[in-house]
């Protein structure tokens, strides 16, 4: 009986979450990420599950859960990625700020964002809501958009583009800040 009571006492006092190390945050503070994850200091370290943390982080559309590592007796490493706004799209008189995967980060009816990001035109959108991925009529267009945005970032050209024309994903055009129209072709070999 004493052994059981002692074991329960150790589990109740030693194996409690005391520290969370957040990896991958830039604009969010560690505290904001921890709050969004649902982790609370003092909770049993054995109750920390990656599935639960991932589900909680899905509620914040600006964070992507990348992993969780529990270090006994009382430490958790939480890895996240922050979504970054990279493009602007206009649809039904509303402007949508998109991330590289086509998730709507913000929506506005003003014109204050024009010129801050490349404007994506020609995408056939069915639905767009903040915190959700675009619903498009052509998945090929969305895939081409994602590939193009990633490649522009890798090659440091994103700041030199004012418009991305995706009317035909097999014949993509870019408009540079100097007003030059560049024919990219399809998204198969963007390098």
pLDDT, tens digit (0-9, with 9 covering 90-100), for 47-78: 899 999 999 999 999 999 999 999 988 899 99
**In the chain, pLDDT over 90 holds for what percent of residues?**
69
Q: Which residues of 9-38 are buried (b: 16+ CB within 10 A; e: fewer)?
A: eeeeeeeebeebebebbeebeeeebbebbe
Q: What is the pLDDT of residue 98?
A: 95
């Amino acid at each position: 009986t004493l052994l059981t009571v002692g074991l329960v006492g150790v589990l109740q006092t030693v194996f409690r979450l005391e520290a969370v190390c957040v990896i991958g945050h830039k604009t969010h503070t560690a505290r904001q990420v921890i709050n969004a994850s649902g982790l609370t200091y003092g909770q049993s370290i054995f109750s920390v599950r990656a599935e639960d943390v991932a589900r909680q982080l899905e509620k914040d559309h600006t964070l992507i859960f990348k992993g969780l590592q529990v270090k006994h007796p009382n430490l958790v490493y939480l890895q996240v990625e922050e979504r970054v706004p990279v493009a602007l799209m206009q649809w039904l008189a509303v402007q949508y700020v998109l991330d590289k995967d086509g998730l709507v980060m913000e929506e506005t009816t003003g014109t204050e964002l024009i010129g801050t990001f490349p404007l994506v035109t020609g995408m056939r959108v069915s639905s767009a809501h903040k915190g959700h991925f675009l619903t498009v009529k052509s998945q090929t267009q969305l895939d081409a958009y994602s590939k193009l945005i990633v490649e522009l970032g890798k090659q440091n050209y994103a700041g030199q583009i004012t418009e991305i024309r995706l009317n035909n994903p097999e014949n993509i055009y870019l408009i540079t800040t100097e007003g030059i129209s560049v024919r990219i072709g399809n998204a198969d070999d963007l390098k």
